[in-house]
Each structure stands twice: as structure tokens, then as C-alpha cells.
Amino acid sequence: MNPQQLSLGVSLNDDATFENFYAPVESTNAQIVASLRQQIETANEPFIFLWGATGSGLTHLLQAACHHAQSLQKSFQYFPLFDLAGYAPDELFVGLEELDLVVLDALEEIINRPEWELALFHLFNRMRDAGKLLVVSAVQGPQELPVNLPDLKSRLQWGATFHVQTLDDNEKQAALQFRAKARGLELSDDVAAYIIQRLPRDMYELFWQLNRLDHASLAEQRKLTIPFVKKILGL
């Protein structure tokens, strides 16, 4: 891991792995996971652009890419731009082409800011010339993202682009049960459906609430029943 990551105060979520990302077999999202794995291992494609709606799992996938790189003893840097947009981009991006993988989360946070767009353009070129992998995410695709710098706009369309699909309610319920099982929690269909119907459908929020339930279940030695969930979550 790059020491700069520590100085920025940036850390990865331990749960954000490819194995822990719910993607139905043969779905678009499953294909995206497979492609990300392959490119991190081979670096045949130097640039990957992921886009999707808020709550579709972009941050999870980007952090999973970093975890996978780490497991392969590759060097990487993860940038959550929603937290780092106040930094000077030239200082953040210096020397990154020496790393195997650079990940930029939420490009929409820095678009329309000339110093950021220019720094990103130069980073793209340096990474490509060095044969290293750059992975970015945004809530819009590379053609729709309102980039001002024409050369950057064209660069963002050069690589592999993947649209991360938002799960429907049935898939969100399955994803919640999938994550619960990984934590050693038993989450029945009835209880999972109860949670999905009464909480915001955003997967980040759902997983955060599941974390609350996990801690409460351990503390009180209780199974996850509807009355218990209702009490803990105040539903």
C-alpha cells in the first residue's frame, strides 16, 4: 500500500470485496466483476470507467479492486473524490504512474473545475504511457459527463466502459441476505422483506442498518425477528 494513502487518512472498507458484492449469476454486474478482476491481474486494458446511479455499488467495486490488487501484492491508491475535492490535484496526483493501480471514485465531484480536469488529463496520459491501470467512477457515462476540457472528454471515452446496474427490490433483499450470511447472521425472507419495505432502498443505507442489527444481535444474544428489528431500527 502506498504510504500516501495513510497521510490522506483514506482507508478501505474491509467488507468491500469482490466476494462480498452481490451480483446475480450471468448478470451485467457479474460480468463487470469478472472484467475488473481480469484487468487488475493482467492490466491489458489501461483504463476502466464505471458509472451508475447512487447506491448501485460503485464505491464497493472500486474498493474491491484495491483489495484484489493488494491480495496480488500490487501497489495502489484509492481516491474518494467526495472527500478530497478540496485538495490541490497536482499534489495528490504526483508520481501515481509508479503504482500498478490508481482508483478515482466520483469524478462528478471535480468536473467543471479547470485545475482538476487538467490534472486528470495529465494523470491519464502518464498512467497510459507507463502501462498502469486507472479505474474511475461517476454517476454518468463518459459521453454524458459534463467535462469542459475537450481532450479529457475524449480520453475518458478511450477505455472500457461499464454501466453498473441498480438492483431491483427482490435483488436488494437477496443482497441483504447474502451480506447477512457472510456475517454469520440468519436473515429470513420475512425479516429481509420487512427491512426492504421500511427503509430507504439505497444499498449503502441498508448495509449500514444491517451492521447495526449485527451488533445489537451479538450484544443481546437475539435472533433477527421482526419485533427485534422493529425495536432496534425504530421502525
Same domain, 203 and 153: no
Same domain, 120 and 221: no
pLDDT of residue 188: 95
141: three-class secondary structure by DSSP: coil
Same domain, 42 and 155: yes
Contact (Cβ atoms closer than 8 angstroms) between residue 68 and residue 39: no
**Cell numbers placing 11:** 482507508
**Cell numbers placing 175:** 443482497
233 Cβ contact list (under 8 Å, min separation 6)? 195, 198, 199, 209, 212, 213
pLDDT of residue 6: 40
Q: Is the per-residue pLDDT at 10 higher than 80? A: no
Q: Which of 163, 182, 199 is the last residue of a domain?
A: 163
Q: Report CA dihedral (96, 128, 12, 167) to the nearest 10 degrees.
A: 160
Q: Which domain holds residue 207?
A: 169-233
CB atoms within 10 A of CB 163: 15
Same domain, 51 and 138: yes
Strand 76-80 vs strand 47-51: parallel, antiparallel, or unpaired?
Answer: unpaired
| Structure confidence at residue 9 as a pLDDT band (50, 70, 90) | low
In the block, residue with C-alpha cell 486528470: 120
Average pLDDT over residues 11-29: 90
Average pLDDT over residues 111-117: 95
Contact (Cβ atoms closer than 8 angstroms) between residue 124 and residue 38: no
Q: Is the per-residue pLDDT at 130 higher than 80? A: yes
Contact (Cβ atoms closer than 8 angstroms) between residue 55 and residue 83: no
Same domain, 88 and 24: yes
CB atoms within 10 A of CB 219: 9
Query: Average model confidence (pLDDT) for the chain?
Result: 91
pLDDT of residue 105: 97
pLDDT of residue 8: 66
- How far apart are the C-alpha atoms of 122 and 81, rounded to whole Å? 17
How many CA atoms lie within 13 Å of 160's alpha carbon, on the beta-carbon side? 17
Same domain, 69 and 158: yes
Same domain, 208 and 96: no
Same domain, 193 and 218: yes
Rounded to 5 degrees, what angle do the CA atoms 12, 94, 106 make? 45
Q: Is the per-residue pLDDT at 1 higher than 80? A: no
